[in-house]
Amino acid sequence: MRHRGQFSRSERVARSRLAKLVHDQPFLCGSLVSLNRVCGKEGCKCSRGELHPGLCIALRVGEKRKMIYVPQALETTARRWVSTYQEAWQLMERISQSCLDRFLRGKERVRGAGRERTGQRGKRR
Ligand SMILES: [Zn+2]
């Protein structure tokens, strides 16, 4: 049985997972960047060139791209929020792929109908 608007199983799974993520999970549309930094404390090893490993989130704030430093205590949170965004993005891509398949099938049908019309016109000649 065919229903208009019925999704394949894999598309349904992707859609419901995406809806769940967007509905109740925090996320940040950015990417994590490891960055070595200087802490500024006098006499610290970093002043001699031994930098502290650090983490930043690269994201857009309004029109501007920014690097936001992540304190160690928030690293796990930052990683989770960015990875939620990445998963949501992958799900969007998967759903889009299914929609593209559907679109291309629709295009085939339109083209098929076009050929029929051409055929009829041919008969009339
Ligand atoms: Zn330091």
10-residue mean pLDDT series, the chain (125 residues): 69 96 96 90 92 94 94 96 98 96 93 68 52
Rounded to the nearest angstrom, the distance between the alpha carbon of 55 and the centre of ligand 1 is 15
Q: Return the pLDDT at 94.
A: 96
Tell whether pTM > 0.85. no
Q: Return the pLDDT at 123.
A: 53
The SS3 call for residue 22 is helix
Rounded to the nearest angstrom, the distance between the alpha carbon of 72 and the centre of ligand 1 is 14
Q: Return the pLDDT at 112.
A: 83
Instruction: Name the helix (H) or strand (E) containing 58.
Output: strand 52-61
- How many whole angstroms separate alpha carbon 31 and alpha carbon 8? 31
Q: Return the pLDDT at 4.
A: 47
Q: Return the pLDDT at 118.
A: 58
Q: Give the closest residue to 57 by CA, choosing from 77, 87, 42, 38.
A: 77
Rounded to the nearest angstrom, the distance between the alpha carbon of 47 and the centre of ligand 1 is 6
* Cβ atoms 17, 91 nearer than 8 A: yes
Rounded to the nearest angstrom, the distance between the alpha carbon of 49 and the centre of ligand 1 is 9
The neighbouring-strand residues paired with 33 are 56
Rounded to the nearest angstrom, the distance between the alpha carbon of 36 and the centre of ligand 1 is 10
Rounded to the nearest angstrom, the distance between the alpha carbon of 68 and the centre of ligand 1 is 19
- How many whole angstroms separate alpha carbon 83 and alpha carbon 3? 35
